[in-house]
Amino acid sequence: MEREKALELVKAQLTERRYAHTLGVVETAVRLAKKYHADEKKAELAAIFHDYAKFRPVDEMKRIIIDQKMDGRLLAFHHELWHAPVGAYLVEKEAGITDREVLDAIKYHTTGRAGMTKLEKIVYLADYIEPGRNFLGVDEARRLADEDLDKAVLFAAGHTIEFLISKHQTIFPETFALYNDLAMKKEGK
């Protein structure tokens, strides 16, 4: 799918603020794909569509999770996580994107998972560090993103876990799995 057509489809689903965020994620994902020798077109497409379902009604997302027999654990966690797997499903059904690598990068951009592909890591990280983000630690994540993709993703996952713990919020198990996977690789295990 051509960039302009994809952006047109996505813009209709998002607020102006979220669309601006999406453009920042696209810019960042393409830059990271160039740096880490990943497929730039796939990174661009996944980044464009990463928040496609962000503003879908919670009831609709819940119904899709149940009807499509997605990971049922999602329903026990905050609905903010649902837009990623539901988005991957809707992007395939409504936009006709069938590339599994692109769809998985959309699906795992909020929770991460152990064994993430390079493309999945790029979209996960681009969403975390895009230029519109402003929070304590984002500059360190951006610095690490320029040095080592795995170190940057490990930092982002750890920082997310720390933030959620500080707010006494639940943490999806795949986020822990992502953190542990990269931490063990770093330790050489």
| Chain segment 117-159, per-residue pLDDT in tens | 999 999 999 999 999 999 999 999 999 999 999 999 999 999 9
Q: Where are the alpha helices (DSSP H) in the chain?
A: 3-11, 16-35, 40-49, 58-67, 83-95, 100-107, 118-129, 138-145, 149-166, 173-186
Read off the pTM: 0.96
Average pLDDT, stretch 79-101?
97
> Which residue type does 181 have?
D
Share of the chain above pLDDT 90, in %: 97
Query: For the segment 39-86, what is each residue's pLDDT rounded down to a tens digit?
Result: 999 999 999 999 999 999 999 999 999 999 999 999 999 999 999 999
Residue 67's CB is within 10 A of a number of other CB atoms, namely 9
pLDDT at residue number 78: 92
CATH H superfamily, domain 3-186 = Hypothetical protein af1432 (1.10.3210.10)
Which of 110, 132, 125 minimizes the C-alpha distance to 16?
A: 132
Q: What is the overall mean pLDDT for the chain?
A: 97
